């Protein structure tokens, strides 16, 4: 059957290659999804602007290295700081004023923020793509037998796991983390208990955006074309990854990221005819998951009080 041609004549080598591709893409999704899920976990709102924060971080890196010739390791630190600040600012401007507003207003505000960032980038940096600075150390190729892999693709999963552990530590074993969990459970109570909600939420955004920056750097090195709309698709897909894993659940985000990354690669690997539909895959998975397990794979079920 012609349709399954992909399945039949796939050599072991290409399959291995596909797996490698999938894992490297998946870990990238996972890395960005963590930031998403963490913000959602605390605020119970989609930070639509997350993808665009990633985009901005890429531009920061570009200006740091290509324009101001700062060595890349310094630049990256700078980028993370700058992006974290950006995140805090966005929270201050777009979300804090709506703290007690209906959910939909917050959602619209989030969409507005992302739309604003895109247009701002478009206006400031023009629509012309810029090339993410090349870091030979990370972008070089490594060949394992017939399997080719980029150095960065080995780094990404490590970074992902590290950030995962760090984040888990922060959330579970630090005072801030405890406060965060309190806020996510019920911020009226948290307020009464004397937690400064605003600081905690700003903190959440700072950490989330820092993660976005790390993700952006990895993304930029792997896919070095920077445009104002760079963040849109990764943003959506990583959100979907977070939902699949169970939004608000940090481990879930990682799981979701890998499912999505591998899925996207393998669907094309097995059914080359469907390559044009690849971007639809993420959404279809999303809808299936939402249908059968609205709270995601690792998310706990909730019942409404009447």
Q: Which of 81, 85, 88, 116 binds another protein (CB under 8 A)?
A: 116
Check residue 249 for interaction with another protein (CB under 8 A).
Answer: no
Q: Which of 4, 7, 112, 165 binds another protein (CB under 8 A)?
A: 112
Check residue 229 for interaction with another protein (CB under 8 A).
Answer: yes
Q: Concatenated DSSP letters for 279-291?
A: HHHHHHHHHHHHH
The SS3 call for residue 226 is: strand
From the list 169-177, 179-187, 204-212, 285-293, the region that binds another protein by CB under 8 A is 285-293
Whole-angstrom Cα Rg for the chain: 20
Our CB check for another protein shows the closer of 12 and 194 to be 12
Check residue 88 for interaction with another protein (CB under 8 A).
Answer: no
Check residue 175 for interaction with another protein (CB under 8 A).
Answer: no
Backbone dihedral region of 142: left (phi > 0), alpha (psi from -120 to 50 degrees) or beta?
beta
Q: How far is the CB of 156 from another protein (least distance, A)?
A: 12
The SS3 call for residue 9 is: coil
Q: Which of 134, 161, 251, 297 binds another protein (CB under 8 A)?
A: 134
State the CB neighbour count (10 A cutoff) for residue 130.
18
Rounded CA-CA distance 37/105 in Å is 20
- Binding to another protein (CB under 8 A) within 257-276 occurs at 264-266, 268-269, 272, 275-276
Q: 122, 147, 123, 107: which is closest to 23 by C-alpha?
A: 147
Check residue 138 for interaction with another protein (CB under 8 A).
Answer: no
- Binding to another protein (CB under 8 A) within 1-60 occurs at 6, 9-11, 13-14, 17-18, 21, 24-25, 45-46
Residue 298 DSSP symbol: S
Our CB check for another protein shows the closer of 108 and 197 to be 108
With CB under 8 A as the rule, give the number of residues binding another protein: 82
Helix, strand and coil content of the chain, in percent to the nearest 5, comes to: 75, 5, 20
Query: Which two three-digit tokens encode residue 193?
Result: 């208990």
Q: Which of 77, 162, 189, 287 binds another protein (CB under 8 A)?
A: 287
Our CB check for another protein shows the closer of 103 and 169 to be 103
Site string for another protein, 141-170 (x = CB under 8 A): x-x----x-x--------------------
* C-beta of residue 53 within 8 angstroms of C-beta of residue 39: no
Rounded CA-CA distance 133/166 in Å is 27
Check residue 122 for interaction with another protein (CB under 8 A).
Answer: yes
Q: How far is CA 6 from the centre of its chain?
A: 30
The SS3 call for residue 150 is: strand
Our CB check for another protein shows the closer of 43 and 179 to be 43
Check residue 126 for interaction with another protein (CB under 8 A).
Answer: yes
């Amino acid at each position: 059957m012609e349709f399954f041609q992909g399945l039949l004549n796939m050599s072991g080598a290409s399959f291995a290659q596909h797996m490698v591709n999938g894992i490297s893409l998946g870990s990238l999704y996972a890395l960005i999804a963590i930031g998403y899920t963490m913000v959602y976990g605390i605020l119970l709102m989609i930070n639509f602007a997350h993808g665009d924060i990633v985009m901005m971080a890429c531009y920061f890196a570009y200006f740091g290295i290509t324009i101001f010739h700062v060595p890349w390791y310094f630049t990256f630190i700078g980028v993370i700081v700058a992006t974290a600040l950006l995140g805090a600012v966005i929270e201050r401007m777009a979300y804090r004023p709506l703290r007690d507003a209906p959910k939909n207003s917050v959602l619209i505000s989030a969409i507005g923020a992302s739309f604003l960032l895109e247009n701002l980038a478009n206006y400031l940096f023009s629509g012309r793509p810029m090339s993410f600075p090349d870091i030979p150390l990370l972008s070089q190729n490594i060949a394992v037998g017939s399997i080719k892999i980029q150095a960065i693709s080995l780094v990404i999963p490590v970074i992902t796991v590290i950030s995962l552990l760090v984040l888990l530590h922060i959330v579970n074993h630090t005072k801030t983390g405890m406060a965060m969990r309190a806020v996510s459970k019920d911020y009226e109570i948290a307020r009464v208990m004397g937690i400064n909600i605003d600081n905690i939420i700003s903190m959440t955004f700072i950490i989330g955006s820092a993660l976005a920056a790390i993700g952006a750097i990895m993304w930029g090195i792997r896919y070095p074309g920077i445009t104002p709309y760079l963040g849109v698709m990764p943003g959506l897909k990583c959100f979907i990854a977070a939902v699949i894993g169970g939004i608000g659940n940090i481990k879930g985000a990682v799981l979701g990221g890998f499912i999505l990354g591998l899925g996207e690669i393998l669907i094309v690997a097995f059914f080359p005819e469907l390559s044009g539909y690849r971007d639809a895959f993420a959404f279809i998975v999303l809808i299936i998951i939402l249908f059968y397990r609205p709270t995601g794979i690792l998310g706990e079920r909730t019942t409404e009080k009447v």
